[in-house]
Structure 1
Amino acid sequence: MKNDEQINIKQASQVVILKLGEEAYLNILKMSSYKKNAFTYATIVAVGGFIFGLDAALISGTVNFITEEFSLNPLQLGFVVGAPSIGVLLALFFAGSACNYLGRKKTLQIIAALYLVSAVSSALAPSYWALVAARFLGGLAFSSISVASMYIGEIAPPKWRGKLVSMTQINIVLGLSAAYFINYLIIQFTNSDAAWVDDLGLRENTWRWMLGSEILPALIWLTLLYFIPRSPSWLMFNGKSEEAKNTLRKIIPEDEVILNIQEMQKSMDIGEQDHSIVSQLKQIFSKPMRVTFIIATTIAIAQQSTGINAILFYAPTVFEQIGGGSDAAFMQSIWIGLTSVVFTILGLLLVDKLGRRPLIIWGMVWIILSLGLCFYGFNSARYTINNNAIVELNEINNPERLNAIVGVEYDSDISFKKALEETLGEVDARNHESVLIQKAAKINAILILIGILSFIAAFHFSVGPVMWVLFSEIFPISIRGIAIPFFTLLTSIVSSMVQVFFPKQLATFGISNTLLFYAITVAVGLVILYKYLIETKGLTIEEIQLKLQNK
């Protein structure tokens, strides 16, 4: 009986499948292809985030090497590290126009080419200023984040938009993690006795190999971008409605294409019909856009005021302040990358479930508490050089010069560094700062490490990825090509200031007061966003516009 029942069930199933018909079966296959296409296009574009993360974090491993090779002071070091963030300021003035006139796809291809040229030029840079120029050129490509968010937001169905836009942030942290691992791996190779290390010049050109590791990924991304379609929103913006429909048919069901075209047309009709840059900028500052402007401005400033790029771009330098030494600092930097990946993925999984507002508000509270923990740990640290430490200092010529400060307790990193400069001179103090802090520091390293990793987790769980999700949602199509680059320019200005002045802040205010400053600025942003930030989860771009205007 049991076998007869199984045969009957199987026959019944076959009948049901036959009744579905060939057309229905093909429709099922086609429906699965919509999601596949959307994810494929988004993934390719989001690879730009990986290149960005790689470019951003590789420099962290080169800081000590280029400082010594080019005899850099803190401001010069900040300038070479922050050169890309200055370059992006220039790029963002043209990114909006390029997106509108050339299209999102062509703009992304130009950006990928810039990454490639910058990576080659940085690895071969013969001088300090050549390195600055090469990194500045790479900064022109940093607009990839805003352009990628724009493109993905325009091809993603509303229910997937949060996840797909956040893929850029996932790729950023994967790039960061890869960069820290590459730097650590190269350091380990340089410490080995393998003959091939000398054959490749790895020991003499450590920082060049670090920066050159970006070349292959940049080339791969440039190639992949030839396989994505042009944005349907851009096609509609430029009067190419038939091509827009053809693109939409690849990413949504046929019966939704006309509705999407109509919604895009309505979004374009909001505000003025004049699509000039001046007209779009006027609309950004207009009264109907007031709440949108407040939200975008606040989160653009607050995201970078967290000091995230100070930690990411100077990770080994920050960890050296804990007193673990240079090798330990490179290893601990890998933990930053791993933490970033885990919590970005977690944020991605929850952004469409919990919503944008809870993630940002509670994430910023978490960031403030984490920075406060780091402030407490560094502020309570004490620094003392003893006679045993001086005996062990083989790296320094004439270590007896330190006898003048033996047994003296310093209550901050800044006072200890000043004492080192007075006894060793500026150059020797800077070159041997890591090992001297390692010998002298009495610090709760575990507490600070937990605070830093907690901060990294909070950022990548909240304002890191969610800001780009908001940017892809809160602007109407009629001004998005200018609005997203405009507010990305604002966040890039803050990022540039953080990166360029962080070494100077360390030398002037110390690590604890610098982190406290970041926490205070984030708290100000939290108050403003708590009042004005709306929830955009699950809404179409047109519904979001109405909600913002009603608020």
Structure 2
Amino acid sequence: MKKNKSLYIIMITLVATLGGLLFGYDTAVISGAESSLQAYFADGLNLSSLVHGLTVSSALIGCIIGGLLSGYFSTRFGRKRTLILAAVLFLLSAIGSAYPELLFFTAGEPTYSLLITFNLYRIIGGIGVGLASAVAPIYIGEVAPSHIRGRLVSLNQFAIIFGMLVVYFVNWGIARGQTEAWVNDIGWRMMFASEAIPALLFLLLLFLVPETPRYLVSQQKNDEAMKILTRIYDTTMAKATLYEIKQSFDTKKGKLFSYGVPIVVIGILLSVFQQFVGINVALYYAPRIFESMGAARDASMFQTIIMGLVNVVFTIIAILTVDKFGRKPLLIIGSIGMAIGMIGVAGLAFANAIGIATLVFIIIYTASFMMSWGPIVWVLISEIFPNKIRGQAVAIAVAAQWAANYFISSTYPMMMEFSGGLTYGFYALMSILSGLFVWKFVPETKGRSLEELEMILKNKRSAEEKKRSYAQ
């Protein structure tokens, strides 16, 4: 019986993590197509590097929109239906990004209108990413038992990185042995179109999973919630969990700052630091970075596969250790590793000594991120917010994350034109500050139920209010 319950939890978690896989797939597919887009649009229309950077990063505008909308949709329509909407948007974006000329334009003739249309399709996919990036961790966090919640939510990050690795293989496979002209004409389209396959699979499988018990209780559907809980826990534990969930909805109003401003700010800053350390620069522009080291185009794409494999390995390390060592220690260790990696890259850039050592430092940097800030931030933002405000608080944190991502990614080409050493030095500084922030402000959440964490937060808030009243 216990084995059946574990299999059930794993099954619904894996379906939800397909949202993470598509998140990774959609954001990393641009790495293989980026130089082709420059040839097709930027060079064809004589556009600046800033416009090219904005095109490469345009999906992030959708991610911000999707992140902001996720709170409303997940609270109003449920976690499951919001993920279904995300799957539909992924599917539309895959087809439209591959063939933006569809219906309205002539293939092979770049125009400003076509560039805008391409960006709109990428933004549609970005909205799907924004929705999935916020709601998939919430979904998993709300169905997972506390003793394995960190591991299961971390699986979503594994799926993100696995999605990136898959698309690195796909991009490499499409470009391998082909001429640059063929890749610039047809190959990049195939890269975008390939996303339709996992998007369709995600859409179909979502109809087989339940809504989360915590959302059902918020809609006064206690009987349905109990049915789900009895498939996760034994009857006694299911009843106790249902009681805790009901109490959490009964004791507080759902105003965003009803549990205090600091907890919302911590969630936002976790998300912002996750991007300001520069990880998506390494992911989006990886082939171009490796080309600058002297690699041929298909070889540079193969090197992204090596980086992707390293990322997968170190994400697995995070999954295996997050419920053992805790969230804070892993984040601090990761910050130190990222700082070392970026200081090394910055030093080599200042010395104009780009070579194999750069690849080593980039791998140190990305490995450190993947065993810490990559998965752990998603775990924390799915845990630290109370039930009543989780949807809207996560939405704000995720929107802030995507806004930070957009800023960092779109400014990278321009920053690199100014100074590569200073660019990587900035990411190193952010890595150091991220570790100090965690050490000073971030709470440990290991091994506690969502309702226990909420009660701790409530008690802390009450104690602070008493202190203020005494001071007056």
**TM-score, normalised with respect to structure 2:** 0.90
Name 1:111's counterpart in structure 2.
86
Rounded Cα–Cα distance in structure 1 between residues aligned with 2:175 and 2:404: 31
User: Which residue identity does 2:188 align to in structure 1?
Assistant: W
Name 1:420's counterpart in structure 2.
none
Rounded Cα–Cα distance in structure 1 between residues aligned with 2:178 and 2:56: 23
- 1:128 is the counterpart of 2:115: yes
Name 2:407's counterpart in structure 1.
497
Name 1:456's counterpart in structure 2.
366
Tell me if the contact between 1:340 and 1:456 (Cα under 8 Å) persists in the aligned partners. Answer: yes
Bigger CA drift: 536-545 or 156-165? 536-545
Secondary structure of 1:205's counterpart equals helix
Sort the Cα spacing of 1:444 and 1:91 in 2 relative to 1 into closer, same or farther, 3 A: closer
Tell me if the contact between 2:280 and 2:405 (Cα under 8 Å) persists in the aligned partners. Answer: yes
Tell me if the contact between 1:367 and 1:458 (Cα under 8 Å) persists in the aligned partners. Answer: yes
Of 97, 103, 125 in structure 1, the residue corresponding to residue 72 of structure 2 is 97
Tell me if the contact between 2:62 and 2:125 (Cα under 8 Å) persists in the aligned partners. Answer: yes
Of 82, 88, 100 in structure 1, the residue corresponding to residue 63 of structure 2 is 88
Rounded Cα–Cα distance in structure 1 between residues aligned with 2:203 and 2:137: 17
Tell me if the contact between 1:116 and 1:219 (Cα under 8 Å) persists in the aligned partners. Answer: yes
Of 158, 171, 187 in structure 2, the residue corresponding to residue 206 of structure 1 is 187
Rounded Cα–Cα distance in structure 2 between residues aligned with 1:82 and 1:216: 23
- 1:372 is the counterpart of 2:346: no
Tell me if the contact between 2:67 and 2:134 (Cα under 8 Å) persists in the aligned partners. Answer: no
Name 1:152's counterpart in structure 2.
140
User: Which residue identity does 1:245 align to in structure 2?
Assistant: M
Following TM superposition, by how much is the alpha carbon of 1:264 offset from its aligned partner in structure 2, in angstroms? 0.7
Matches within 5 A, 1:391-540: 443-507=353-417, 509-540=418-449
Of 118, 128, 136 in structure 2, the residue corresponding to residue 141 of structure 1 is 128
Rounded Cα–Cα distance in structure 2 between residues aligned with 1:255 and 1:282: 34
Tell me if the contact between 1:351 and 1:466 (Cα under 8 Å) persists in the aligned partners. Answer: yes
Name 2:263's counterpart in structure 1.
292
- 1:60 is the counterpart of 2:31: yes
Tell me if the contact between 2:37 and 2:184 (Cα under 8 Å) persists in the aligned partners. Answer: no
Following TM superposition, by how much is the alpha carbon of 1:281 offset from its aligned partner in structure 2, in angstroms? 2.6
Rounded Cα–Cα distance in structure 2 between residues aligned with 1:89 and 1:145: 11
- 1:240 is the counterpart of 2:221: yes
Name 2:200's counterpart in structure 1.
219
Tell me if the contact between 2:415 and 2:423 (Cα under 8 Å) persists in the aligned partners. Answer: yes
Tell me if the contact between 2:386 and 2:454 (Cα under 8 Å) persists in the aligned partners. Answer: yes
Percent sequence identity is 32
Tell me if the contact between 1:67 and 1:73 (Cα under 8 Å) persists in the aligned partners. Answer: no
Name 1:264's counterpart in structure 2.
245
Tell me if the contact between 1:343 and 1:461 (Cα under 8 Å) persists in the aligned partners. Answer: yes
Name 2:467's counterpart in structure 1.
none
Rounded Cα–Cα distance in structure 2 between residues aligned with 1:365 and 1:291: 25
Following TM superposition, by how much is the alpha carbon of 1:444 offset from its aligned partner in structure 2, in angstroms? 4.8
Following TM superposition, by how much is the alpha carbon of 1:202 offset from its aligned partner in structure 2, in angstroms? 6.4
Tell me if the contact between 1:307 and 1:498 (Cα under 8 Å) persists in the aligned partners. Answer: yes
Name 1:433's counterpart in structure 2.
none
Rounded Cα–Cα distance in structure 2 between residues aligned with 1:36 and 1:110: 26
Secondary structure of 2:323's counterpart equals coil
Name 1:542's counterpart in structure 2.
451
Following TM superposition, by how much is the alpha carbon of 1:376 offset from its aligned partner in structure 2, in angstroms? 1.1
Rounded Cα–Cα distance in structure 2 between residues aligned with 1:145 and 1:203: 30
Name 2:104's counterpart in structure 1.
none
Sort the Cα spacing of 1:518 and 1:542 in 2 relative to 1 into closer, same or farther, 3 A: same
User: Which residue identity does 1:477 align to in structure 2?
Assistant: N
Structure 1 or 2, whichever has the larger Rg, is: 1
User: Which residue identity does 1:142 align to in structure 2?
Assistant: V
Secondary structure of 1:246's counterpart equals helix
User: Which residue identity does 1:221 align to in structure 2?
Assistant: F
Secondary structure of 1:487's counterpart equals helix
Tell me if the contact between 2:68 and 2:398 (Cα under 8 Å) persists in the aligned partners. Answer: no
| Pairwise CA RMSD | 1.7
Rounded Cα–Cα distance in structure 1 between residues aligned with 2:170 and 2:336: 33
Following TM superposition, by how much is the alpha carbon of 1:189 offset from its aligned partner in structure 2, in angstroms? 4.1
Name 1:78's counterpart in structure 2.
53
Of 168, 181, 186 in structure 1, the residue corresponding to residue 169 of structure 2 is 181
Sort the Cα spacing of 1:189 and 1:322 in 2 relative to 1 into closer, same or farther, 3 A: closer
Matches within 5 A, 1:308-347: 308-347=279-318
Aligned residues: 443
Tell me if the contact between 1:316 and 1:333 (Cα under 8 Å) persists in the aligned partners. Answer: yes
Task: Spell out structure 1 runs of 4+ moving beyond 6 A.
Answer: none
Tell me if the contact between 1:291 and 1:532 (Cα under 8 Å) persists in the aligned partners. Answer: no
Name 1:434's counterpart in structure 2.
none
Following TM superposition, by how much is the alpha carbon of 1:545 offset from its aligned partner in structure 2, in angstroms? 2.7
Unaligned runs of 5+ in 1: 1-29, 193-197, 382-442
User: Which residue identity does 2:298 align to in structure 1?
Assistant: D
Rounded Cα–Cα distance in structure 1 between residues aligned with 2:70 and 2:437: 28
Name 2:464's counterpart in structure 1.
none
Following TM superposition, by how much is the alpha carbon of 1:550 offset from its aligned partner in structure 2, in angstroms? 3.1
Following TM superposition, by how much is the alpha carbon of 1:254 offset from its aligned partner in structure 2, in angstroms? 1.4
Bigger CA drift: 448-457 or 65-74? 65-74
Bigger CA drift: 481-490 or 183-192? 183-192
- 1:161 is the counterpart of 2:164: no
1:240-279 per-position Cα deviation (integer Å, ceiling 9, x unaligned): 101100111111111211100111122223432xx4xxxx
**TM-score, normalised with respect to structure 1:** 0.78
Tell me if the contact between 2:264 and 2:393 (Cα under 8 Å) persists in the aligned partners. Answer: no
Secondary structure of 1:536's counterpart equals coil
Following TM superposition, by how much is the alpha carbon of 1:146 offset from its aligned partner in structure 2, in angstroms? 1.2
User: Which residue identity does 2:199 align to in structure 1?
Assistant: A
Secondary structure of 1:120's counterpart equals helix
Name 1:351's counterpart in structure 2.
322
Tell me if the contact between 2:50 and 2:413 (Cα under 8 Å) persists in the aligned partners. Answer: yes
Rounded Cα–Cα distance in structure 2 between residues aligned with 1:86 and 1:297: 18
Unaligned runs of 5+ in 2: 102-113, 462-472
Following TM superposition, by how much is the alpha carbon of 1:41 offset from its aligned partner in structure 2, in angstroms? 0.3
Sort the Cα spacing of 1:203 and 1:550 in 2 relative to 1 into closer, same or farther, 3 A: closer
